[in-house]
Structure 1
Amino acid sequence: MTTKVLVFSLFFGVSINHKTAFAAFRIQNVFAQDVLDIHLDSLLTMQQGLGSPHSLQVATGHEALMKLRREMPTPYTCTVTTPMGVTFDVQTPPDDRFESWSDNCGVRVRNVVLADEGRWRLTATAGNDSISGWVEVYVEDDRTSYTAPTISLQDGQTHANVELTTLDNLYCMVAQPASESSVVAGHCEVTLDRITRAVKGNWDVFLGLPGKINELHVQRQVAVEAERLDVGFIHDSNANKVHLYCNILVTEKNITFCRFQRTNAASGYNVMDGLSDGVHSYYGEGFDQRQCGMTLEQPTAEDFGTWRCTVGVQAWVGALVEQQTPLQALISVSSNNRVGFIYITARLEETEAQTVFTQVDREFTVMCRADRALRYCWFQHPNGTQYTPLPLADENQQFWYTGEDFQAGDCGITFSHATEADAGLWTCHMGPSDQVGVEVTDRLNVRVTGPLAANYQQIDTVVGEKATVYCRTSNGVRPLDYCRFMTPSFVGLSVDETVTEENAILNRFYFTPGRELNLGDCSLTISSVQYEDLGVWTCAAVVNGDTEEARDTVTLYVSDSAHARTLSQAGIAGMVFGLAAMLAALGGVVWYKRHTLFPPKRSNRSTDPTVGFSRRTVSTTSSGGSSNSSVLENLELPTITSQRT
């Protein structure tokens, strides 16, 4: 028995014209060396057959349209064989789901179901000629909706890929908030150069899905969050504990340390998981979950106040892990179980404005601080111009934000150059991050001076009381080589920390305790102001490193209120002495009349009535504010007695 092996060989090399590749198959009898050449007009036809389309995806409930690519001369018959093996003539279908379609041999299948999936064969016959083709049908579920959770993006992230669906779509049209629509081919994913809050909101996505004519409308909610600290506290009154937390949200950074400190305390607490001192311990799910917290057991009254949390962080920078600037925030702990803050509204008239000293063309900073986290802040210049501080991004910026951050309650602005026009009262406005409504406000006074400036150029004083003339360096702390003053009567005084109240110059002038030349302080205290001290004082010093002496003036004066207060005290003393003299004279007149008109009767008592009256008069006049009524009573008694006798 001879075994014949047929070898198929495919060779190309004719030409490609209008995307049609001609090919030839050679079927060779290896043993007999007989060769039969079969020529095909199209490589595509060779691979896929005559069915059109070769592959068809249809969603359930939709219609499938299939036909042969080639036409047959009429008359011809067209038969269809379903994947279930049912064969029928398209002119006499088994039910109304099927009908003839197209000018060629073709069929329309309505209301496609899952059972229609598979290979459909179409055959056209005309006399002795017959052609066949097939179509592969894939039935998909008819998707009418698509739901997915909110897409969370990080503010400031660059080159971010945003996947809008996981469906196998052909294309999608994406409409972002406040942006032009764009069509994306293939998988529905967009790349954003930089994420800002402008992309936050509802995105409308229209998907072209295989097997569906109508596009699928999908709405995706996009949230944009910046890296931030989620801060607060939980007061567990049953266990008598307070839990403070300061967790990082929306970040890829890792926590390196966790610190808490009361704002009115000098030291804080280094909190780590598994460690306790019996009162303070870690609270949270761990540093790996980016959670920083502290539990206070048996909290005291001091614990119910404002705390500052500081979280150390590190992050990948290229191929290295580097330490980053620690994050800080304020937590105001109240006795009730909620995050609390001291709500401050307008406080412009409550306290005296802090003064910032600077020089012309020098950099200066105006700083305000709130006891709560802030969302924003802005400043109003004395001329009414408003400035909102922004991060320093360019060395040529005229102003920029200064401070830890808004979470720590810092609101500061630094200007690169000071001018005379910057002098005056500045107002800072701060918007708390946990509420809307009235802004937190504060005020600061800016003085554009020389290297040395008087803290107050006008000082209201009272003769006989203590007063301080204080000058200090502008633009921060700078040591002084010496400090001197000149009095209004042109007496020069040189002072430093060695001149104390015990060895005061002229027994009245000494350097103000608690201040230092090394800290830029030139300060003189007058233990008892005299009239000769009223007037213009001059403070002068050489700032370390400068070549010229700097000076400023301070005026000591007695205001009308202080003058009135002094006159009032003197007037009261004069009235007391005058009243005493008047009462003494009146008492003498009464005594004279009584003993002249009504001579006293003799008695066995040896006490002289005038002596008794005199004693009563002295005692009543020395009794202070009630002396007038007491003297009148004593004056009337002898008169009434003498009338009755």
Structure 2
Amino acid sequence: MRSHLRILCALLLAGLTSGSSETLPTIKTSLNAGDSLTVQVLTYDDVVTTCRLRSPSNALGEIQFKPMSDNNNERFQIEPDTERSKCRALITVKEGDDGLWTLTSGTADGKEKNQTYDLSVNPESDAVEHNEIDYLDNIFINTTIGSRHEITMPDFSFGGVKSCTIIMPSGRELDIHEVNATHMTGIARTESSSCSVSIGVQTESFVGDWMLTSVGYRYSAEKIERKLRFTIHVEEIVDSNAAEVSVTEGNNFYIAVKHLGEFEELSDTCRLLAPNKEKPSAKYTRLDHGCSYKVYNVRTHDSGYWEIRFGLTNKIEYRAITRLTVHAASTPTQINLIWTRDRPVHEALGPDHAVYCRLRSPEGYVAYDGFGRCWISLKRVIKHQHEGLWKMEVGMPGQVLTDSYIVNVTVKEADPKARITTRVIGESPDDIYMKNMYLSCYLESPDPISYCKFRDPSGRILIAAEAVGQSRYSWHGTGTNYTGSIHAHECGIRITNTTISDFGIWRCEIDTKGVTYYGFLTAKALWIRDPEIAASITTVPTLTADRSWMSSLSDESVTMTCSIQAPIRYCYFRARNGTLFNVAPSDTHGLAEYVGAGLDAGECGIKFPSLATSDSGYWSCHVGLLDLHKREQLARFEVLVNDTMVVSQHGPFRHDNRLLLEGRVNNARPLDYCRFVRIDGFGFTNENVPTNILDWSDLEKGLCGIIIRNPTNLEQHPWAIVARIRGQDTEITRLTDIAFPVPNPPGGSVQFRIPGAWIIVMTLGMCMILLASFVGPKRNREWTYARANALRNSFMAKKVEQNANDASKNTAVAA
């Protein structure tokens, strides 16, 4: 009863010492006189500024210790542990120290925590052996709920272990050897040593300061006690309002716990920590008395991981983390660009880390509006449209308002493209046989060279790598020389033991910073007298078609290419019907596009997205050379365009009154299905044909077909036949021709029809109208002209309608 009163009085006194204090559970312990007792209070993040020790019944008064003070004596050694945020005291007990000892820690903000120890001291006369206490280094375990940890006390190397006990954060003391009998869930004895325990962190009651104690004997006479203190600390990560935040220097930053509802009772414990795990040095405000903060005027050194921590002491601590990136403030400046007239432009504008951008041209239209950097893409630069001041609005990370930029574009005339100087020489000036031959290409350019290669007369590629040789070929040249702002590039190859295949027209390529330059070299074999061998060597640039014959389907792309062993000045293609298509690398349109390495490489090509069957026939490629004295050259192509699907409509026949519809896919490719659509919109597939219609489609052979018995006048109009080739997503649609029946004359006799009779009648009518226009009055002549024009327009409209229904005449060339 007396001990309980002492505890109650001590708790009341501890509560009166401070307006904001917390009393931890009492720890009971029993020692012999002369033993040492260590007491401590853990305060986690708050720095301890004072420690006060109160003896039982305040018999010794209150002993107060401050950092760096001299109040320690032989019996009481006490000091704040700022590194671990602890208040610790070491007491050498003696007889009469029984009772409740209280250790109080204080922080700078006036908070206090009390740890009480109920001490029972055995008289010195009752201690039959001397008790030596060995304190092992403390262990700090940062873990999570549900984890398990093993704590092991080292065995005595000179004697056995008498006892092993553990003290929980609540103050409860357990004998390890009897822990299973106490049914304490989460704590179990292990066999790692004579004093070893496994602790499963199941609830908050396992969080806090623990102590493992073992008692043994040296040579069965001297008693030794070991104490191992360890702290179990649990942290859990919870969601913040944003995992990452980017802010521009000088703006504000917000951080909050995303879902505080389940932790509402802990909101008073929230505190904000800067990346250095200390309170922010910048000005900040707590919002709505919850776990949310506003940090003002952030700077680049504030970048890092910010945290909101909350939770009770010796309980689970929660952390909400946000990574803050503070970008340096930038002052918008004018951007100056130089574009080349008639050349394409593809480039990004604005700061690299822009999150939004809008760009307006000098004429006021929006050239780009989207997230990220501005992107300008022009097929051709036009001076009066693109030169001038462009306005750009940029949204930066961590900003609400956009920054305004001025982009000043100057359009200049294109500079002539540098040309390669070539040279072919023998081993010596007198070596007409050229057993060893040197091919050299020379270029002056302000940009460094990327690679150099050659193409021999047969089309084989040889890479000219400096200081490298293989077989009969080796590097030849001076490499790259730099003079002022110009790089002089010379690369070449040396050929030993030349053969007939080495003679002819070569092409060299030098690439500098994405721009490729081409040159042509002619290696002549002057010593050859055999006319057949001499004729096999091409020394005069000749235009040739890469493929002289090609075929395709009406819905497939068609590519025609030709090349010559010389730079080209211009290039165009002529269609079967005389339509011309001028092509160039920078000039593309919807009907066709250029294909090839470039005109200066001697390559001319065109690619059509598709051609119609009416485009079949002979095409030609035409080129003009840089040498104005050379005539224009041409090469011919034969093009065959097959319709992807051909449809037909036959009948009705007199003998059985049937109408036959069919569509056949080119190359008999397998089909997924067939569809048939009547002129009024009624449609069906080959799987659900009406009862009066017979399906005879063969999908595996690419055939769509139906037979209509006793067709009506509506069913005798043109049908649409639709098929989808297996493996494709698009359908093919074709319209059948009109197939009205010709009625039989009465009596079954055959009546011959004259197809041109209506032409004769209309011609006589037109002549009479013209005659009346010349001899009649003016008003009649005007009326005559109007009627003649109306009649002519009606024929033209009828002809246009017929052409529109003819799928074979819908062609890119006709456009």
TM-score calculated relative to the size of structure 2: 0.25
Higher relative contact order (CA 8 A, sep 6+): 1
